[in-house]
Chains A and B, each alone.
Chain A
Amino acid sequence: MIGLTAYADPDTDGRFLSRAQCQALVDRIVTMTTGGGKTRVWIDSSWTDNLRWARNEIATGGDTRQSNLEILRTIRGASGNAATNALTDQMLSACVARAEHLVLLGQENPDNYPDPRPEIHPTATPSLWFDRTVTDDEPGRAALIDRMIEPAAAAGVLSAGYFQVAASGRAVIATDGLLRYYPYTTVQCSLTVRDPKGRGSGWAGVDWNDVVRIDAARLAQAALDKCLRSRNPVAVEPGRFTAVLEPQAVCDLVSVIVDRALERYVAEQGLGPFADPMRPGYSRIGQRVVDPRITLSADPMDPDCGFVPFDGAGEPYLPINWIDNGVLRALSYDRSYGLRQLSIDAALPNSGAFRLSGGTSTLDEMIAATTRGVLVTRFNNIRLLDFNSMLMNGNTRDGFWLIERGKITKAIKNFRFTESPMFMLNNLEMLGMPQRVFRPDAPAVVPPLMARDFSFTGLVDAV
């Protein structure tokens, strides 16, 4: 098999299932099946260790091991699935029986294609495992949290945050030869620093696979700094502003495009921002959809934005430019779409991870170039209002400032916004260096940016 692993599997230390354990588990499951057909098992096994702090002291922790299994049985094209997290014979056979019962109720499905074959569809082999992320060192992590709390306590404000490490193995194994397994570690850290009287609030956070890439002291300082500088905000009349958005704020908006709008079938149904309104049944692939400086891509091998290189069906994630220099180049589809519509035996799954290309401007340069505008730390409470235009609303939080004549002049009260990231990406002034942001479900590398005419529609006096 080609390129299944670039490095030796790690020692799981009994904390999650190894490749061999996953295989043995599936072998056991197969002996429990009846009625022939094929079996596919998806396994997500992990150990997580977390620490939570609030009001400048450690509040709680948690150390959890769990393996989630989903068993898919397919007999003559009809399929049924059931899930469990218990690895005993009794619970597993009950799970198989539930899946098989659903097979009997199911109809033969013409879209039931063979699983991807590892030798024909090899996956990428990103480095996602770092021993140092998951060393068994609770005292060390507690000491790290103490150091993060210290500057806030010294400044007389309150720090609350979360630090989590995890070691995981993800497997998709099927009786027709599919065998994929990938071990990976993750670490996330985020904190909110608030003034005790609730007058100011700051936030910072990031996630990585490798713990050494987290600069906890810098995060703690950033959140503290935002808290102090955002105190006692004044009200400014909402309206259209030039907006300088920090990378997290950009991520908050663009994530909705990546999570909801990148499905080719949906676009061809006339739904979403990438449906072509002029040609029913077609997407906007090949058309310019945003500013030519924008490229939206994903690559499991991205050293700053790698991810487990296959989806729940075992389909490999390929390097892809969804949007290339402003032009929509691809939308995701599954195997049956590929075979039916494109006559190719391939899927183009969307991992949810993304990289948004940037420019060379710094945040300071963007601020300096702003005559009158606002600086946004991040958004909260985002809701999609219209799928076709991607119009959404929500509010700013954790650091929001007015920029006048190239300088940050005052902390201002939060705004509600009503805007579309499609509009924002078409009204770009400047783009900064992309950087990893906080997005634990799927990684993202995103630049700060400056956009014209960003629509703020109301005051939100929450801090």
Chain B
Amino acid sequence: MTLLTRRHFLHTTSLAVAATAIPGRSARATPMVGAPGTPMVYVPPVAGVSVQPDLRLLAERAAEAARHAGAAYADARLTLTRQQSPGQSDSEACAFGVRVLVDGYWGFLASAVWTPDEAVRLARGAVAQANAHRRGKSRPVDLGAISIVHRGEWVMPVKYDPFDVSIEEKLDVINAFSDLASTARVGILPQAGMNFMRQYRVFASSEGSSWAQTTYRSSAQFGVRYRDEYHAGLPAAGFALDFLSPAGCGWELVIASGIAAAIPQLIDEAEQARHRVPVDVGRYDIVFGAEAMATLVDQTLGAATELDRALGYEANASGTSYLDDPLAMLGTERVTSPRISLSANRSVVGGAATVRWDDEGVVPDEFPIIANGVLVDYQTTREQAAWLAPYYQKAGHPLRSHGCAAAGSALDLTMQHSPNLALHPGSEPVTFESLVAGTEKGIAIYDINVGMDQQQLNGLGWGTMREIVHGKLGRYIRGGALAFRTPELWKNVVALGGPGTERLFGLSRGKGQPSQGTTHSVSAVPAKIPQLGIIDATRKA
């Protein structure tokens, strides 16, 4: 493969041309949408299941066996997860998990074996485990009612299944970026990588629901920094493309993104950032870019409104929440400026947590979490929704799970995980640029890496910062950190980006014991918050 061809490839944004730009490839990107009439279900190689090629039959068998063994409720999931970081790792993993409820106690067994006998072993074992937990006591659990889907099918709409694209093609893009960036200017160190995941998931419950869905997640890291700027730990003056974070899409994330076209700007930013000025600690009016706001939303309000955290179920794991009295706070607690409205969904196109059904078979709804500054809901699963019943009744809301049940794979027990979050834009035609222009003296923060305490109350964030002087962007700043308390941060928002300034970013968070990680998307807009504290993170007492 010549560099010329790679250049051609990278400069190409047309998908059709991209797919044919490299001749002689055995595997080519093939569209998965636009083939009417054929169900676009990814059919996995069903290994070890010689009798029943349909995994749904295995799931149904497990749910049935659990019911026979005495479970009041059971659900079975099977996942086939293909993951690839080209040039680094490549894996395929299968999983089979059965969860049961007996007298209010949960049991869960999982393995990587897909056979009818294993379905029965997992089901009976889960019931035995739940019985062991019960120890003669019962515990009220109200799962509520959900609509039953029989043999449902859904495939996340992507243009190109990343696993239909050859590894050669992927490595070509990585190498081409590295070649282009490192030859563009002396001393530039490129960093490039990609991650793809396709997960086929089958579900069946004792209530009669069964479905199969395929989701995708793609992300890429293309960045540059100067060789002499390396300091592990402290963010180096490096710059990465900000439109390649994890998303519910396929290979199109990479080829449609104009990576090559962005290289000169990346290098310019890295060059400017070499001349960073040391931070001048103090209080500043801060203009946050959409990416920084997405992280702040996620790490503060997002994590704090997970109902299991709020009630102490995660006390020994990911932490608790400063919004820790849901029934007293819902509908009344002013948690942010009235400008702020935050909602959640698992339906946004390109969302990393977008699904048709959640891991309990619930069709997730779009729901408000904060409405004009007031806390109005938490993220819930079926069991959790009932814990808020008094509030829903009072407020006249239906009692239902918001569909936030998830798990990395069927080897993990289903629990509440973050859905996609959306910070709503303001109504005024405000942009990042107009916020900067309206700031006499301040700091612009583009992206931020936040460390929060265990209650999401106090945060410290590092990121790419620039001076704002007389309404104009100035020099980059070195060593600064944003120190904040969550309630003050949100109550002091004075301006939000307007319609059209929303951008979607994929973020990951972990919780649970054993720990599980999941990824979701956060839609956010730029914002301005006055008089926040910028400290020198490296200064000792």
With A384-B233, A387-B232 in contact, is A82–B452 under 8 Å at CB?
no
Nearest CB in chain A: distance from B129 CB, A: 5
Bound CA span A460–B90, Å:
42
Bound CA span A105–B175, Å:
13
Asked if residues B110 and A418 are in contact (CB atoms below 8 Å), the reply is no
Tell me if B257 is interfacial: C-beta within 8 Å of chain A: no
* Size bracket of the B interface: 35 or more
With A51-B133, A86-B112, A418-B538 in contact, is A463–B455 under 8 Å at CB?
yes
Tell me if B48 is interfacial: C-beta within 8 Å of chain A: yes
Tell me if B453 is interfacial: C-beta within 8 Å of chain A: yes
Tell me if B109 is interfacial: C-beta within 8 Å of chain A: yes
Choose the segment among B16-24, B315-323, B352-360 that binds chain A (4+ C-beta atoms closer than 8 Å): B315-323
Contacts of B69-110 to chain A: CB distance below 8 A: 89-95, 105-110
Tell me if B411 is interfacial: C-beta within 8 Å of chain A: yes
Nearest B residue (CB) for A15:
B111
Interface centre among A54, A62, A142, A391 (most CB of B within 10 A): A62
Tell me if A121 is interfacial: C-beta within 8 Å of chain B: no
CB within 8 A of A88: which of B47, B139, B415? Answer: B47
Nearest CB in chain A: distance from B334 CB, A: 19
With A83-B89, A85-B112, A388-B231 in contact, is A192–B453 under 8 Å at CB?
no
Nearest A residue (CB) for B322:
A462
Complex interface bits, A375-398 against B, C-beta within 8 A gives 1, otherwise 0: 000001101111110011111010
Tell me if B454 is interfacial: C-beta within 8 Å of chain A: yes
Asked if residues B234 and A190 are in contact (CB atoms below 8 Å), the reply is no
Contacts of A344-392 to chain B: CB distance below 8 A: 380-381, 383-388, 391-392
Asked if residues B111 and A192 are in contact (CB atoms below 8 Å), the reply is no
Contacts of A81-120 to chain B: CB distance below 8 A: 81-91, 94-95, 98-99, 101-102, 105
Tell me if B398 is interfacial: C-beta within 8 Å of chain A: no
Nearest CB in chain A: distance from B140 CB, A: 11
CB within 8 A of A455: which of B113, B324, B455, B540? Answer: B540
Tell me if A139 is interfacial: C-beta within 8 Å of chain B: yes
With A85-B112, A387-B231 in contact, is A455–B451 under 8 Å at CB?
no
CB within 8 A of B320: which of A61, A105, A190, A194? Answer: A194
Tell me if A12 is interfacial: C-beta within 8 Å of chain B: no
Contacts of A81 in B (CB 8 A): 89-90
Nearest CB in chain B: distance from A21 CB, A: 14
Bound CA span A385–B113, Å:
44
Asked if residues B129 and A460 are in contact (CB atoms below 8 Å), the reply is no
Bound CA span A203–B315, Å:
10
Asked if residues A62 and B110 are in contact (CB atoms below 8 Å), the reply is yes
Nearest CB in chain A: distance from B462 CB, A: 8
Contacts of A192 in B (CB 8 A): 315-316
Tell me if B252 is interfacial: C-beta within 8 Å of chain A: no
Asked if residues B48 and A88 are in contact (CB atoms below 8 Å), the reply is yes
Tell me if B34 is interfacial: C-beta within 8 Å of chain A: no
Bound CA span A48–B129, Å:
13
Tell me if B513 is interfacial: C-beta within 8 Å of chain A: yes
Interface centre among B111, B133, B139 (most CB of A within 10 A): B133
Asked if residues A84 and B92 are in contact (CB atoms below 8 Å), the reply is yes
Asked if residues A457 and B541 are in contact (CB atoms below 8 Å), the reply is yes
Asked if residues B112 and A66 are in contact (CB atoms below 8 Å), the reply is yes
Asked if residues B108 and A416 are in contact (CB atoms below 8 Å), the reply is no
With A86-B112, A142-B135 in contact, is A91–B538 under 8 Å at CB?
no
Bound CA span A194–B125, Å:
33
With A271-B230, A386-B231 in contact, is A59–B132 under 8 Å at CB?
no
Tell me if A310 is interfacial: C-beta within 8 Å of chain B: no
Tell me if A10 is interfacial: C-beta within 8 Å of chain B: no
Tell me if A164 is interfacial: C-beta within 8 Å of chain B: yes
Asked if residues B133 and A86 are in contact (CB atoms below 8 Å), the reply is no
Asked if residues A416 and B312 are in contact (CB atoms below 8 Å), the reply is no
Question: Which secondary structure dominates chain A's binding surface?
Answer: strand
Bound CA span A99–B91, Å:
10
Tell me if A198 is interfacial: C-beta within 8 Å of chain B: yes
Bound CA span A461–B460, Å:
13
Tell me if A445 is interfacial: C-beta within 8 Å of chain B: no
Contacts of A381 in B (CB 8 A): 451-454
Asked if residues A160 and B316 are in contact (CB atoms below 8 Å), the reply is yes
CB within 8 A of B315: which of A194, A239, A414? Answer: A194
Asked if residues A52 and B513 are in contact (CB atoms below 8 Å), the reply is yes
Bound CA span A375–B190, Å:
45
Tell me if A432 is interfacial: C-beta within 8 Å of chain B: no
Contacts of A239 in B (CB 8 A): 541
Nearest CB in chain A: distance from B483 CB, A: 7
Asked if residues A416 and B514 are in contact (CB atoms below 8 Å), the reply is no
Complex interface bits, B149-191 against A, C-beta within 8 A gives 1, otherwise 0: 0000000000000000001100100000000000000000000
Contacts of A160 in B (CB 8 A): 312-316
Nearest CB in chain B: distance from A274 CB, A: 13
With A82-B91, A160-B312 in contact, is A395–B112 under 8 Å at CB?
no
Nearest CB in chain A: distance from B28 CB, A: 16
With A397-B454, A418-B540, A462-B458 in contact, is A158–B315 under 8 Å at CB?
yes
Tell me if A456 is interfacial: C-beta within 8 Å of chain B: yes
Nearest B residue (CB) for A191:
B316
Contacts of B230 in A (CB 8 A): 271
With A83-B89, A381-B451, A461-B458 in contact, is A60–B413 under 8 Å at CB?
yes
CB within 8 A of B411: which of A66, A95, A161, A463? Answer: A66
CB within 8 A of A60: which of B95, B106, B125? Answer: B106
Contacts of A461 in B (CB 8 A): 457-458, 485
Could you name 13 residue pairs across A and B whose Cβ atoms are closer than 8 Å? A51-B133, A55-B311, A63-B109, A64-B411, A65-B112, A84-B92, A90-B47, A95-B92, A102-B90, A394-B451, A461-B457, A461-B458, A462-B455
Nearest 5 CB-CB pairings of A with B? A387-B232, A138-B132, A88-B47, A83-B91, A462-B453
* Known A54-B316, A62-B109, A393-B537; 9 more pairs at CB < 8 Å: A61-B107, A99-B90, A138-B129, A138-B133, A141-B132, A384-B232, A416-B458, A418-B539, A461-B457
